[in-house]
Structure 1
Amino acid sequence: MIRPFGFNEFLFILTAVQWTIALSAIAFCGGGLGGLGIALARTSSMKLLRLVTTGYIRLFQGTPLLMQLFLVYFGANIFGLPLNAWIAALLALSLHASAFLGEIWRGCIQAVAPGQNEAATALALNYRDRMRYVILPQAARIAVAPTVGFLVQLIKGTSLASIIGFMELTRSGQIINNATFEPFKVFGVVALIYFSLCWPLSLLARRLERHFARSTAR
């Protein structure tokens, strides 16, 4: 039975926002941990580590996120490890985020002036201390703006999790649309909610980028 799009339908969509935010936040944290390891491996002196992580980055940057979701969700079942949609989406997005954040942070580490590393070496600091006390704090300042920018892309990317049945914002919109047959209203609301989530972060990324650019120029 077709029903009109009303307040209850809007609340159903709005309730799903919590799952979009939760999926984005946890995948971002998981991707951040993996991305830091990848960035350090990409800038290490060990050729094997650099080759392996370079291949990893090219794999995930060179394939659509949708395909990655399919491979994790259906591939796990083929190997006898059934995953529900929540775990599969979380794993796929975390792997995806680790590749992109690893490359972003690799560039930020290499953007630190070489003299900083040379000075730390002259002070007899080992690799761990050089990274912990000298290189990473400076790279973090450079990384803030592009990292926030990637978070915006990750939030929008969670919409693809609806393909494997995960109940997030886009999936809730699909369900309501199937009940109301008012796609313009339903997906207009969904788009506005995504906009309200992403636009403030986009503004923050631009502001941080300008702030750190001025700080560097001084």
Structure 2
Amino acid sequence: MGNLEFLFLLKGLQWTVLLTLISFVGGSIIGLLVALARTSENKILVQLTAGYTALFQGTPLLMQLFVVYYGLALLQLNIEPWIAVSIAYTAHASAFLGDIWRGGIEALPKGQSEAANALGISYLTRMRHVILPQALKVSLPATVGFMVQLLKGTSLAAIVGFVELTRAGQIVSNQIFQPMLVFGVVGLFYFVLCWPLSLYGSRLEQKMALATR
């Protein structure tokens, strides 16, 4: 494998990292809104966001990619492939992160919310300064774990022709006919990205377990 092929793989790696970051940040923003809606006292919001979560958790990510990628084309919306793929991954991430953080919020003792209500603290202030900081801390190991899954899941974008790391590997492999070498390098890139995050998530879980003893 020559320098040009290796640089092409690095370009694919760059798009993998960028897609992961865009999806995670966008999914975090929407997911936080989903978590707040699902733990609110508004039954309509609860039902709508529960349906949203069930839809994206209950259908394959590949199908979601197809629906967004080709659905936008059918609507005559000519956007860049990476934008369409980012929309699909962001929606996917928001459903899972919203559910993770909802669990973190509901895991906290109800007495904290009741005490805040008794003191006349508004819902937004209570969530911002009392509930969310604790809920996000509790949910951090699961959040890191999902980020690892999201990073690996970006490989499915190759199916719709988006040139991320896996697709770059396919292209290079077809050019030089050395699939073991090429995908060995691709696998190494994924490992270098995912292993530190997995290790960090495991350490967080251990710290949480020690803190609760």
What is the TM-score of this pair, normalised by structure 2?
A: 0.97
Over residues 67-106 of structure 1, what are the superposed CA-to-partner deviations in whole Å (9 max), with x where a residue is unaligned?
Answer: 1111101001111112221001110000000000000000
The answer to whether 1:117 aligns with 2:108 is no
Alignment of 1:2-151 (within 5 A): 5-151=1-147
Cα distance in 2 for residues equivalent to 1:212 and 1:49: 31
* 1:211 equivalent in structure 2: 207
Over residues 29-85 of structure 1, what are the superposed CA-to-partner deviations in whole Å (9 max), with x where a residue is unaligned?
Answer: 000000000000110111111111111111101111111111101001111112221
Q: Which of 183, 194, 198 is matched with 2:194 structurally?
A: 198
Cα distance in 2 for residues equivalent to 1:140 and 1:73: 32
Which ranges of 4 or more aligned residues in structure 1 deviate by more than 6 Å?
none
Over residues 5-38 of structure 1, what are the superposed CA-to-partner deviations in whole Å (9 max), with x where a residue is unaligned?
Answer: 3343223212321111111001100000000000
Over residues 91-137 of structure 1, what are the superposed CA-to-partner deviations in whole Å (9 max), with x where a residue is unaligned?
Answer: 00000000000000000000111111111111111111111111111
Over residues 122-156 of structure 1, what are the superposed CA-to-partner deviations in whole Å (9 max), with x where a residue is unaligned?
Answer: 11111111111111111011011110110000100
Over residues 169-194 of structure 1, what are the superposed CA-to-partner deviations in whole Å (9 max), with x where a residue is unaligned?
Answer: 01110110110121111111111110
Letter in 2 for 1:81: L
Unaligned ranges ≥5, structure 1: none
Cα distance in 1 for residues equivalent to 2:180 and 2:109: 51
Letter in 1 for 2:120: A
Kindly tell me the number of residue pairs found equivalent between the two proteins. Answer: 213
* 1:184 equivalent in structure 2: 180
Pairwise CA RMSD of aligned residues?
A: 1.1
Alignment of 1:156-171 (within 5 A): 156-171=152-167
What is the TM-score of this pair, normalised by structure 1?
A: 0.94
Percentage of identical aligned residues: 58
Letter in 1 for 2:88: A
Does the Cα contact within 8 Å between 1:73 and 1:83 map onto a contact in 2?
no
Cα distance in 2 for residues equivalent to 1:127 and 1:46: 12
